[in-house]
């Protein structure tokens, strides 16, 4: 199948507007691992026929890591520039596979003049499932497999989204197991608050190792995630534990796309 990745600029040139803008995010654009998530999500969007578009080269960092690291000027410069682009195209609805982008655009852009309906791709996928647009006959290749979901802080505690990703996993008819610390008590992967962009402070353990041990203790063969930073941290953790041949870290969109053999 030929996959379409229209940019908003393309659509506008044709006098059209997208139903929803897919905000790819920096990790989804540049990180080799997370690019696979971006592609999986685009395949799903193509499959269900959503009229979407991306900003492509016009997209820039939301400013989240700068803000969390204390650089409010830089954050607001980024935010204002992004809002100008989004408003210039009349964007109303945004979907993103990054909880940090999601949180920033949804909760922090309104005060700076950017008002959009923002959904995380877990919620978006759940809606597609609820509408019957994504069905997986007999559960597909993940049927009966042990999967555990790692809550991203910026999806969970930050925005109270705990059920959507789990609902998405249910369509796989897998054996969903929970870690000891999950949902409101979920343990951070260690990368939030701009930690992704620096070494950890001195301690006696890396946070991602602590979390990975907990995930491995469930006996799950797949650690499902919904965040690019969690993806990196958990993947590194699994490698550190030398379990990469047995345990995979996968994004929700990848699991759906694989089950659908997209």
Pick the binder of other proteins from 92, 133, 157, 221 (CB under 8 A): 157
106 or 250, CB closer to other proteins?
106
100/48 Cα distance (integer angstroms): 26
Determine if 48 is a binding residue for other proteins (CB under 8 A): no
Closest approach, Cβ 144 to other proteins, in A, equals 29
**Helix boundaries (H) for 99-201:** 99-103, 121-130, 163-170
**Candidate segments 86-94, 108-116, 240-248, 249-257, binder of other proteins by CB under 8 A:** 108-116
- The answer to whether 146 touches 173, Cβ cutoff 8 Å, is no
Write each residue from 5 to 44 as x if it is in contact with other proteins (CB under 8 A), else as -, in one continuous string: x-x----------------x-x-xxxx---x--xx--xx-
User: Which residues fall within 8 angstroms of residue 163, CB to CB, at 6 or more apart?
Assistant: none
85 or 145, CB closer to other proteins?
85
**Candidate segments 69-77, 89-97, 121-129, 239-247, binder of other proteins by CB under 8 A:** 69-77
Site for other proteins in 185-244 (CB under 8 A): 185, 187-188, 190-207, 210-211
224/218 Cα distance (integer angstroms): 13
**Candidate segments 13-21, 88-96, 157-165, 234-242, binder of other proteins by CB under 8 A:** 157-165
Closest approach, Cβ 102 to other proteins, in A, equals 9
Closest approach, Cβ 51 to other proteins, in A, equals 17
From 231, 162, 226, select the one nearest 190 (Cα to Cα): 231
**What crossing angle do the helices spanning 228-240 and 32-48 adopt, rounded to 10°?**
130
- DSSP summary character for residue 60: -
C-beta neighbour count of 71 within 10 angstroms = 15
**Candidate segments 56-64, 121-129, 141-149, 250-258, binder of other proteins by CB under 8 A:** 56-64
Closest approach, Cβ 12 to other proteins, in A, equals 16
254/38 Cα distance (integer angstroms): 9
Q: Is 128 helix (H, G, I), strand (E, B) or coil?
A: helix
Pick the binder of other proteins from 154, 222, 254, 257 (CB under 8 A): 154
Determine if 111 is a binding residue for other proteins (CB under 8 A): yes
Closest approach, Cβ 204 to other proteins, in A, equals 3
Q: What is the CA radius of gyration of the chain?
A: 18
- The answer to whether 37 touches 125, Cβ cutoff 8 Å, is no
């Amino acid at each position: 199948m030929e996959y379409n990745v229209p940019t908003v600029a393309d659509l506008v040139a044709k006098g059209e507007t997208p139903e929803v803008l897919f905000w790819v995010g920096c990790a989804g654009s540049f990180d080799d691992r997370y690019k696979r998530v971006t592609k999986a999500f685009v395949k799903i969007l193509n499959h269900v026929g959503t009229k979407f578009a991306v900003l492509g080269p016009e997209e820039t960092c939301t400013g989240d890591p700068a803000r969390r690291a204390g650089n409010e000027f830089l954050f607001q410069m980024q935010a204002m520039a992004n809002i100008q682009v989004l408003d210039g195209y009349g964007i109303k609805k945004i979907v993103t596979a990054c909880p940090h982008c999601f949180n920033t655009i949804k909760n922090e852009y309104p005060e700076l003049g950017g008002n959009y309906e923002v959904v995380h791709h877990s919620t978006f996928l759940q809606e597609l499932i609820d509408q019957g647009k994504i069905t997986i006959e007999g559960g597909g290749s993940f049927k009966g497999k042990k999967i555990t979901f790692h809550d991203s802080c910026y999806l969970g505690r930050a925005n109270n989204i705990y059920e959507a990703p789990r609902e998405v996993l249910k369509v796989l008819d897998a054996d969903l197991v929970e870690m000891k610390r999950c949902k409101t008590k979920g343990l951070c992967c260690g990368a939030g608050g701009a930690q992704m962009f620096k070494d950890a402070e001195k301690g006696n353990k890396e946070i991602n190792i602590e979390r990975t041990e907990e995930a491995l203790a469930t006996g799950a063969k797949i650690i499902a995630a919904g965040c690019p930073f969690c993806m990196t941290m958990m993947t590194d953790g699994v490698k550190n534990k030398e379990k990469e041949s047995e345990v995979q870290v996968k994004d929700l969109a990848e699991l759906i796309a694989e089950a659908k053999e997209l």
